[in-house]
Amino acid sequence: MKFCSDCFEDTEIKNIINSINNTDTCDVLNKKSEHIYDTDKHDNLTPYFESLLDVYTPISECKIKIDKANYVRLKYDLKYTWDIFESNCKPEIIHNIVKSICKEKYEETPDIFDEDIVIQELYDEEYKKEQSLLRTNSWEDFKNSLIRDNRYHTNIFNTKLFEQYCWAALKKYHAGTKFYRGRISNKDGYPIEEMGCPPFKNSKAGRVNAEGVECLYLANNIETTINEVRAGVADYVTIAAFELQEDIIVTDLKNINKISPLSIPDSNFLVNYAINKEHLLKINKEMSKIVRQSDSKLDYVPTQYICDFIKTLEQKGIDDNVIKFAGVEYDSTLCQDGYNIAIFEPNLFKGVNTEVHQINSLKYETIKI
């Protein structure tokens, strides 16, 4: 079978296919490309997909009792669980692509491709105690344990496991990259010196930092910045551009539940990742959810705990230099396609210029409750 990178959403797969110089026509999209993966010629993807398929168990081989409502077919699980294929790629096409990539696997274990399957560890309570981020608890259990029992320590959250996901969701930024920060102001605006984060004495609790801890909140563009400020019609907003002073890494929480299953060809990692995708998605949602003025600052406690943990992580790099996360990145719910970045050490960015914008109109979207 022949296909191109446009059949996939997964960036790892797209990069592999685009590195192949083979001009032909894609069987799926019926278009010509200089980078066609031909399963009769290429096997670059085979070990990755075989490792992913090892996560699944045919129902006939399951060792624990699983409700029939949880049975799935491979073609549907690959489409809706793993973010591998392009959104318009139909399940039958996915079935044909994977079967073509893993010819030998299909001959050895056709049941995985053609029969009902499960990731049986998802339903194994003993396994989840060790391999689930929240063990056998809910997010509310985690939140309440921090708020009511112990603000700084908890046995509910599996930090050892979460550390693996943080490094897998690593994102790099190079010196010179610009982000933005806004403040509602008058027509004259604020000088650049007053556009950074408040000093620790005036630092209020946020979704990343506890009260008294400095943290620089920035947005990826001016539109996102203005939306995050929540200015009203006719308000003036001072927008400051901040330039990164050195190369850094951050944990990309907005994509931590979309780590490529092909980036680490380890079925054990993939199994516990499958178990935790829902928890990881919840973390990003909690990071980016809209907070009302009336909401309690205690609602920030779970994300503060998680971000404080990320702040402690480090690895040895080349020449034994220490690599640490400089911040976290998360979605903006106030601006489609926008995102925010929270920097643990504000001096990593330097304010370079300001401009004043006036809000001319707003568009409200409501739901009846």
Q: Average pLDDT in the 336-358 region?
A: 95
pLDDT tens-digit map of 114-151 = 999 999 998 998 888 889 999 889 999 999 999 999 98
Q: Which of 35-39, 272-276, 347-351 shows the lowest per-residue confidence on average (mean pLDDT)? A: 272-276
Task: Answer for the pair 160, 199: CB distance below 8 angstroms, yes or no.
Answer: no
In this predicted structure, the answer to whether residue 364 has a pLDDT above a threshold of 80 is no
In this predicted structure, the answer to whether residue 92 has a pLDDT above a threshold of 70 is yes
What's the pLDDT at 205?
87
pLDDT band at 280 (very low <50, low <70, confident <90, very high): very high
Q: Report the C-alpha gap between 26 and 45 in whole angstroms.
A: 16
Q: Average pLDDT in the 13-20 region?
A: 96
What's the pLDDT at 330?
96
What's the pLDDT at 292?
67
* Neighbouring residues of 311: CB distance < 8 A, sequence distance ≥ 6: 324, 325, 344
Tell me the average pLDDT of the chain.
Answer: 93
In this predicted structure, the answer to whether residue 294 has a pLDDT above a threshold of 70 is no
Q: Which of 189-193, 281-285, 361-365 shows the lowest per-residue confidence on average (mean pLDDT)? A: 361-365
**290 vs 157 pLDDT, higher one:** 157
pLDDT tens-digit map of 233-257 = 999 999 999 999 999 999 999 999 9
Q: Report the C-alpha gap between 172 and 174 in whole angstroms.
A: 7
pLDDT band at 293 (very low <50, low <70, confident <90, very high): low
In this predicted structure, the answer to whether residue 264 has a pLDDT above a threshold of 80 is no
Burial class (CB in 10 A: 0-12, 13-18, 19+), 339: buried
Q: Report the C-alpha gap between 21 and 33 in whole angstroms.
A: 9
In this predicted structure, the answer to whether residue 61 has a pLDDT above a threshold of 70 is yes
